[in-house]
Amino acid sequence: MTLLCSTCGGPHQHRLMTPQEQARAKQQLGLRAVYDLWLCENVVDAESGRRCRTLRRWGRTNPFPSPVKLLPPE
Ligand SMILES: [Zn+2]
């Protein structure tokens, strides 16, 4: 799904999180419901293939006071 990313500043591919990522997001954000958060898949570092991972909601580009990136798994 192509949605606007507040970090990348343009439309980029987003996807819903896996169950593991949802668990991580709940822990990171202290939220009970994260099923409607979309993850930015834009590759921000071509060399490592690192992706943006900024979270947004379907209807809101900025659901948080400042942009939040899902942290990598521990
Ligand atoms: Zn992004």
Q: What is the mean pLDDT of residues 66-71?
A: 96
Contact 28, 34 (CB under 8 A): no
pTM for the predicted model, two decimal places: 0.93
Instruction: Say how many Å lie between the CA of residue 37 and the centre of ligand 1.
Output: 13
DSSP string, 18-62: PHHHHHHHHHHHT-S--TTEEEE--EEETTTTEE--BEEETTBS-
Instruction: Say how many Å lie between the CA of residue 58 and the centre of ligand 1.
Output: 14
Q: Residues 6 or more apart from 65 whose CB is under 8 A from it?
A: none
Q: What is the pLDDT of residues 10-56, one digit of tens each?
A: 999 999 999 999 999 999 999 999 999 999 999 999 999 999 999 99
